[in-house]
Amino acid sequence: PFDVLIVGGGPAGAAAAVYAARKGIRTGVAAERFGGQVLDTLGIENYISIKETDGAKFAVALEEHVKAYDVDIMNMQRAEALKVEGDLVEVTLASGATLKSKSVILATGARWRDMNVPGEAEYRTKGVTYCPHCDGPLFKGKKVAVIGGGNSGVEAAIDLAGVVDHVTLLEFDSQLRADAVLQRKLHSLPNVKVLVNAQTTEVKGDGSKVVGLAYKDRKTGELHSIDLSGVFVQIGLVPNTAWLKGSGVELSPRGEIIVNTHGQTSVPGVYAAGDVTTVPYKQIVIAVGQGATAALGAFDHLIRTSAP
Ligand code: FAD
């Protein structure tokens, strides 16, 4: 068996692999797509010590760093179930194989919920974006929309209002769902317009970038369009935890894996890191730190529980 088996090969999984391997213990990584969300990212400008890079380069660097150690990388392997059998944790892959390990680190990340309207997929990273912390500065002096009036949408609109020329926030429902204090702040900003009962129906582009969006007023049925350069979709982040159903690993109401400050889950020997967990602020630098924490947590568990 492995000493540490990591499920997921994004920033969190890669950091966990490096930290575990450096302890000289038997380490494996099973990942559906090594690199994770970083592979879908254009520019990265907030990973401290690297002023500017792009997602593809960053993913290659992650893999090269892991490969510098004796780590068994199993790429394009999807985990489908986890269970504890005696002293070992078993992870079953879609291929039918079962991997056994004394400890497991779950780092399966998350994905942004999308609107599913024409133009959204086509203009992703060409004006359609999901991350104000990452891409806000790219729209300096321009007009943007934020889709979603929950906490993350309203926070994004407040954040962006300080960076871009103008923000239009569109909420499907008849009212915003964000905390009152956020809504007050939002309404105090001169360069933000809020539209409720607004159903986005299309992202419009010129073939290479976003130029606007269309929405339907759900009260009157009228169609409208807005000229803008960026659309920030903030309608939820979905953690990749469906495969853990029945495993005993405790999830929050949003489906995130509940971890303590050591990265420990509710199942002894099972740790978690990155966007898949309850830890707030889903960012690379945070996922990497959590990956290190989970690996050190798992190592602590091993030296307390397994024979030398
Ligand atoms: P992920 O990167 O999601 O990796 C998850 C890994 O688990 C992948 O290898 C995946 O294939 C694998 N996996 C999932 N399910 C299974 C399964 N069942 N079995 C096996 N493997 C599985 N953050 C920044 O800090 N700066 C930025 O500029 C930035 N820009 C972004 C731009 C975009 C378009 C997106 C989508 C995100 C961006 N982020 C940015 C956020 C950042 O990418 C994430 O916070 C980070 O990748 C999280 O790392 P992770 O390892 O937790 O998860």
What is the residue-level pLDDT of the chain in tens, covering all 308 positions? 999 999 999 999 999 999 999 999 999 999 999 999 999 887 899 999 999 999 999 999 999 999 999 999 999 999 999 999 999 999 999 999 999 999 999 999 999 999 999 999 999 989 999 989 889 999 999 999 999 999 999 999 999 999 999 999 999 999 999 999 999 999 999 999 999 999 999 999 999 999 999 999 999 999 999 999 999 999 999 999 999 999 999 999 999 999 999 999 999 999 999 999 999 999 999 999 999 999 999 999 999 998 65
Distance 221 CA to ligand 1 centre (A): 38
User: Which atom from ligand 1 is nearest to the alpha carbon of 274?
Assistant: 52
Q: CA–CA separation, 157 vs 132, rounded Å?
A: 9
Q: What is the DSSP string of 136-167?
A: GGGGBTSEEEEE--SHHHHHHHHHHHTTBSEE
64 membership: H or E segment, kind and range? helix 55-67
Q: CA–CA separation, 111 vs 8, rounded Å?
A: 13
Kindly tell me the burial class for residue 221, based on how many C-beta atoms sit within 10 Å of its own C-beta (0-12, 13-18, 19 or more). exposed
Report the nearest-CA residue for atom 47 of ligand 1.
37
Distance 287 CA to ligand 1 centre (A): 9
Give ligand 1 pocket residues (Cβ under 6 A): 7-13, 30-34, 36-38, 40-41, 44, 46, 78-79, 107-110, 112, 130-131, 134, 240, 243, 274-276, 282-285, 287
- Nearest Cα to Cα of residue 262 among 250, 254, 270, 251: 270
Please choose from 38, 78, 290 the residue to mutate so as to test ligand 1's pocket, defined by most ligand atoms within 8 A of CB.
Answer: 38
What DSSP character marks residue 50?
B
Please choose from 284, 285, 290 the residue to mutate so as to test ligand 1's pocket, defined by most ligand atoms within 8 A of CB.
Answer: 284
pTM: 0.88
- Nearest Cα to Cα of residue 267 among 242, 247, 287: 247
Looking at residue 42, what is its pLDDT? 77
Looking at residue 308, what is its pLDDT? 57
Report the nearest-CA residue for atom 53 of ligand 1.
109
Distance 284 CA to ligand 1 centre (A): 8
- 148-162 burial, b at 16+ Cβ within 10 Å, e below that, comes to bbbebbbbbbbbbbe
Looking at residue 307, what is its pLDDT? 67
Q: CA–CA separation, 139 vs 133, rounded Å?
A: 12
Tokens of 150: 């929950």
Looking at residue 146, what is its pLDDT? 98
Q: CA–CA separation, 157 vs 183, rounded Å?
A: 10
User: Which atom from ligand 1 is nearest to the alpha carbon of 40?
Assistant: 34
Distance 112 CA to ligand 1 centre (A): 10
Q: What is the complex's ipTM, to 2 decimals?
A: 0.99
13 membership: H or E segment, kind and range? helix 11-21
Looking at residue 20, what is its pLDDT? 98
User: Which atom from ligand 1 is nearest to the alpha carbon of 273?
Assistant: 52
Q: Give the CA count within 13 Å in the CB-facing half-sphere of 90.
A: 8
